[in-house]
């Protein structure tokens, strides 16, 4: 009862502390589906943080073995409103991707060991953070921030059944930025490595088959593969993806900062990619509000230290932490952007936290900026690393800067970078990367195939997927152009 009451109080405090910019969003929140523990069959463990485990949801099992049906009196008697019933039904229907058969949702709960290992105060803190995370996620609405889809039936009251009694359900992500950085490194340094051409061929569309005929007659598709065999193509394609990911991340942070929210724990392990390849910021356990009075970028507040040391601004790295503001996120963003561009771990040589504090906060050490990078890149990174938080740019400046870089990289093509397009688009850069991989795989496959029949089938498969990608890309280009006119 005690724990339950604590969460109720926190929740009230949360609503009262919402900046006015968020209160209207809060009142029009998406419906979150309540589920009971026994209605959910968990699959494999997807990952763990310091305080929580995240599992994939392999199946939803309707209450009392009765179908999730609006007319069911059993469900009504549980006190669900119509909208909740509808969302539960939809989630049941979408529990697996129709295309990949992979689980669509993930469940996050506290690590049970917390209760045994930590004192009550610390357990309550971890539990409060998770409940607050749900409140944050449900109050926010941005394409680059993960969505809250479901919650334990009793709400935070579920904690009265133990650490696993309260859980949140999120969209399942497929890769973290930490994984993506490793993949970029491989793609840049080694030969392209990818999935099975035949598997892709199986999914290829009729449209692709038509394009094959066109290609055999000498259409533009073959020139795509031609240009990609150039030695710098991998680097160029990866760079486009790197800039695009940086831009989407800046966009998510700009949204938060506009709402007076500091994320406080930005690092590659807290950034993921959804099924479409779009960037999703997750893990809001440490997010907090700045007061609305005054300037959130200029004023500084006393707050508890938070975040992961490697990505923490010097003012919060020291013990005790100095007053700080939104600019701590800009510093972390700078370090993450440096990691995205350099594909190296920041402060890799540092062996302990004490050493890190000494190196970063006392000696003013920072990641080495590559001399070959463009001047504006060097300048933006250097200023975001500044020990003086007022010298750091705002996150909106970082966003504008990255957008400009990406347009330049695309030879002035800004068609997919209007703000409204960014908000909805499928990640084009990831698609282009995929495209180049197909072509390379095709070339490898062709070398391997012995008989003419197999060679033709490998060619069909590869061209199909290339054509499909091109079609999607052109359709998107056209629709954006129309909208901008
Ligand atoms: N929605 C998700 N889909 C897939 N994996 C996830 C998802 N959320 C978290 N994970 C994995 O679980 C790990 C821990 O989740 P996180 O929310 O960061 O927990 P904590 O608050 O304990 O740090 C992440 O680093 C990631 O690998
Ligand atoms: Mg985490």
Residue nearest to atom 26 of ligand 1 (CA): 47
**Residue in 175, 407, 354, 366 with CA at minimum distance from that of residue 279:** 175
Question: Please, which pLDDT band fits residue 278 given cuts at 50, 70 and 90?
Answer: very high
Share of the chain above pLDDT 90, in %: 42
Confirm or reject: Cβ of 266 under 6 Å from ligand 1: no
Rounding to the nearest 10 degrees, give the CA dihedral for residues 388, 308, 109, 172: 80
- CA distances (Å), 441 to each of 191, 390, 459, in order? 10, 49, 10
> Tokens at residue 320, please?
């005790």
pLDDT tens digits along 436-466: 444 455 555 655 666 555 655 555 555 445 4
Cα separation of 51 and 269, whole Å?
14
H or E element in which residue 67 lies: none
Confirm or reject: Cβ of 105 under 6 Å from ligand 1: no
Find the angle CA(475)-CA(240)-CA(230) to the nearest 5 degrees: 95
Contacts 24+ apart (CB under 8 A), 219-222: 221/463, 221/466, 221/467, 221/470
Alpha carbon of 267 to ligand 2 centroid (Å): 8
* Phi, psi angle pair for 369, to nearest 5°: -90, 125
Neighbours of 82 (CB within 10 A): 10
The number of the ligand 1 atom at minimal distance from the alpha carbon of 173 is: 3
Q: Are 395 and 253 in contact (CB under 8 A)?
A: yes
pLDDT tens digits along 66-109: 444 555 555 555 678 788 888 898 999 999 988 889 999 999 99
User: What residue ranges in 51-141 does DSSP mark as E strands?
Assistant: 52-60, 105-110
**Mind giving me the DSSP string for 266-283?**
-SGGGEEE-TTS-EEE--
* Phi, psi angle pair for 29, to nearest 5°: -70, 155
Alpha carbon of 47 to ligand 2 centroid (Å): 9
| Best of 272, 279, 286 for a ligand 1 pocket test (most atoms within 8 Å of beta carbon) | 272
Cα separation of 471 and 214, whole Å?
13
Torsion sign (Cα): 458, 460, 466, 469: negative
**Residue in 466, 437, 407, 444 with CA at minimum distance from that of residue 184:** 437
pLDDT tens digits along 99-143: 889 999 999 999 998 888 877 878 888 888 898 888 888 888 889
- Low-confidence winner among 199-208, 301-310, 320-329 (lowest mean pLDDT): 199-208
- Low-confidence winner among 5-9, 382-386, 413-417 (lowest mean pLDDT): 5-9
Neighbours of 485 (CB within 10 A): 5
Cα separation of 35 and 80, whole Å?
10
Alpha carbon of 270 to ligand 1 centroid (Å): 7
> Tokens at residue 74, please?
């059993």
Residue nearest to atom 12 of ligand 1 (CA): 47
Q: Which ligand neighbours the alpha carbon of 46 most closely?
A: 1
pLDDT tens digits along 236-275: 888 999 999 999 999 999 999 998 889 999 999 999 999 8
Confirm or reject: Cβ of 131 under 6 Å from ligand 1: no
Cα separation of 469 and 415, whole Å?
17
- Low-confidence winner among 63-72, 210-219, 355-364, 442-451 (lowest mean pLDDT): 210-219
Residue 218 has pLDDT above 50, yes or no: no
Residue nearest to atom 19 of ligand 1 (CA): 49
Helices (H), ranges, 259-326: 314-317
H or E element in which residue 452 lies: helix 452-484
Give the list of residues 6+ apart from residue 463 with CB closer than 8 angstroms, or none.
208, 211, 212, 215, 221, 442
Confirm or reject: Cβ of 309 under 6 Å from ligand 1: no
């Amino acid at each position: 009862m005690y724990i339950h009451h604590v969460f109720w109080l926190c929740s009230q405090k949360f609503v009262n502390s919402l900046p006015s910019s968020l209160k209207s969003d809060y009142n029009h929140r998406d419906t979150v589906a309540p589920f009971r523990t026994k209605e959910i069959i968990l699959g494999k463990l997807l990952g763990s943080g310091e305080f929580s485990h995240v599992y994939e949801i392999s199946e939803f099992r309707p209450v009392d073995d009765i179908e999730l049906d609006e007319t069911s009196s059993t469900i009504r008697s549980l006190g669900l409103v119509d909208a909740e019933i509808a969302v539960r039904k939809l989630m049941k229907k979408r529990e697996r991707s129709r295309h990949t058969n992979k689980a669509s949702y993930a469940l996050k709960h506290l690590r049970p060991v917390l209760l045994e290992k930590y004192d009550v105060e610390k357990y309550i803190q971890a539990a409060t953070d998770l409940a607050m995370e749900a409140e944050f996620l449900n109050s926010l609405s941005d394409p680059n921030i993960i969505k809250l889809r479901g919650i334990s039936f009793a709400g935070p009251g579920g904690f009265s059944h133990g650490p696993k009694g309260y859980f949140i359900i999120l969209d399942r992500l497929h890769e973290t930025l930490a994984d993506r950085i490793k993949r970029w490194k491989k793609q840049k340094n080694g030969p392209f490595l990818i999935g099975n051409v035949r598997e892709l061929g199986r999914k290829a569309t009729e449209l692709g088959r038509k394009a094959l005929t066109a290609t055999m007659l000498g259409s533009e598709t073959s020139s795509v593969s031609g240009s990609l065999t150039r030695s710098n193509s991998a680097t160029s394609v990866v760079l486009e993806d790197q800039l695009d990911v940086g831009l989407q991340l800046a966009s998510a942070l700009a949204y938060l900062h506009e709402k007076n929210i500091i994320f406080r724990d930005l690092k590659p392990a807290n950034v993921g990619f959804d099924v479409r390849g779009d960037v999703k910021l997750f893990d809001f356990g440490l997010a907090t509000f700045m007061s609305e009075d005054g300037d959130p970028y200029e004023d500084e507040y006393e707050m508890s230290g938070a975040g992961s040391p490697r990505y923490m601004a010097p003012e919060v790295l020291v013990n005790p932490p100095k007053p700080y503001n939104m600019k701590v996120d800009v510093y972390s963003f700078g370090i993450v952007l440096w990691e995205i561009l350099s594909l190296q771990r920041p402060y890799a040589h540092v062996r302990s936290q004490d050493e890190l504090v000494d190196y970063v906060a006392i000696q003013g050490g920072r990641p080495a900026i590559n001399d070959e990078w463009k001047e504006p890149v060097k300048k933006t990174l250097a200023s975001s690393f500044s020990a003086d938080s007022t010298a750091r740019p705002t996150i909106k400046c970082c966003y504008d800067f990255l957008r400009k870089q990406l347009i330049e990289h695309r030879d002035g093509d800004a068609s997919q970078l209007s703000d409204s397009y960014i908000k909805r688009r499928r990640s084009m850069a990831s698609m282009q990367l995929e495209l180049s991989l197909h072509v390379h795989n095709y070339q490898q496959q062709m070398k391997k195939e012995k008989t003419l029949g197999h060679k033709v089938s490998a060619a069909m498969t590869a061209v199909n997927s290339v054509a499909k990608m091109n079609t999607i890309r052109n359709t998107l280009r056209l629709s954006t152009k129309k909208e901008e006119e």
